[in-house]
Amino acid sequence: MSRRGWIIGVLLVVGLAVAGWWGARDADEEPLQPTSTGPMGTQAVVDVLDELGADVDVDREVADDVDAALLLADDLERAEREALEGAVQAGATLLVTDPGSELAAEMETDVAVPGGGVTLQPSPDCPVAAFDGIGGVRASGFPFEPDDGEVGCFPVDGGPWLVVSPEGEGRVVSVGSSEWLVNSQLTRADHAALAVAILLPGDEARVTVLPPGELALEGEGMGIDGVLPLVPGWVWALLAQVVVAALVVIGWRARRLGRPVSEPQPVDLPGSELVVAVGELLQVSGSAAHAARRLRADTATQLRQRLGLAPDAPPRELAAAAVAAGADPDQAERAFVAPEPEQDAELLRLARDLEDVRAAVEGHAPALT
């Protein structure tokens, strides 16, 4: 195999490896999934509760004797919602991180917490004892409009970001987003402490975490900053393969490997020899008119620039300007206006007239810069 073949093969292997790695990481980056270890997953919440002694179930079916439940995104079927409501009525605590859920408190739709979040602290008059010692939460999403009997904590512009609503023997805790619970955010501020304070009412509590379905991830109000976290991993893998393929083509076509290839070069003639060769060709052709046109064109180009005329100024205008600059009128007429010569003697006289006019103009007219 040639050296180029080895290089292309190595690049293809690297590209396939990158694409495979990127595709594999997609399985761990399902947004809000309690079984996902990616930055937008929520398995860290499950692990924290489990380490503190809770009996954690990841299931969309909620038992009647459950102590607490976490609803990350509300796409529940009617039977699932009724079972969850029954557990709350029986005394369970429900944490709803989807502000648009039917189970959450009334949302303030005219105000939203700025993207990226703001640091919130419990209000001094918050009567929830479980929140004592919570220093701050980096929150985003939406505030709520508490009704009578509901308790609001963590105030932001427009209303509280967290609302506790009594329901039968239990309570529903509504928060403005789920972003603070994802794996990449749980260790910041007091996010983990707040989750434990809500979901772990006592030792050996039974907690159910409801995984969101596909429909929930298409809705709004989850607090996910931007759409990039929702792009499937196979799209990134495809883009990676396209980039690798482009690099392979560039590396293949950019340079040829191996010894330099000699190529025929044009004949290199000195400038003086080129002038002599052109003159000899003109002499052999015997065309006085052709030589006259070249002499007039070269001299006219020089004098138009020196006299400040336009590059396409007509010959008669050029002759008049040369006379004004000191040239002989008859010579200027013969140099630029008279018919082209047909004999060598006439060509010689034209060359003298052109030289005299040029010398007269350059001797009197100032050079233009």
The tens digit of pLDDT for each residue in 322-345 reads 898 888 999 889 888 888 887 878
The tens digit of pLDDT for each residue in 202-236 reads 777 888 888 887 544 444 444 444 555 555 666 77
pTM of the model: 0.52
> For the chain, what is the mean pLDDT?
77
Confidence class of residue 20 from pLDDT cuts 50, 70 and 90?
low
Confidence class of residue 51 from pLDDT cuts 50, 70 and 90?
confident
Amino acid at 145: E
The tens digit of pLDDT for each residue in 129-148 reads 777 777 778 777 778 888 88
Least confident of 75-79, 182-186, 252-256: 252-256
Q: How far apart are CA 152 and CA 144, in angstroms?
A: 8
The tens digit of pLDDT for each residue in 228-265 reads 555 566 677 778 888 888 887 777 777 666 677 777 77
Relative to beta strand 170-175, strand 93-96 is: parallel
The tens digit of pLDDT for each residue in 260-314 reads 777 777 777 676 676 677 667 666 666 788 788 888 888 888 888 888 899 889 9
Q: Hey, where are the domains in the chain?
A: 1-23+226-256, 32-223, 273-364
CATH number of 32-223: 3.40.50.880
Answer left, alpha or beta for residue 93, where phi above 0 means left and psi between -120 and 50 means alpha: beta
Other CB atoms within a 10 A radius of the CB of residue 226 amount to 8
Q: How far is CA 115 from CA 108, 140, 177, 223, in A?
A: 16, 6, 11, 9
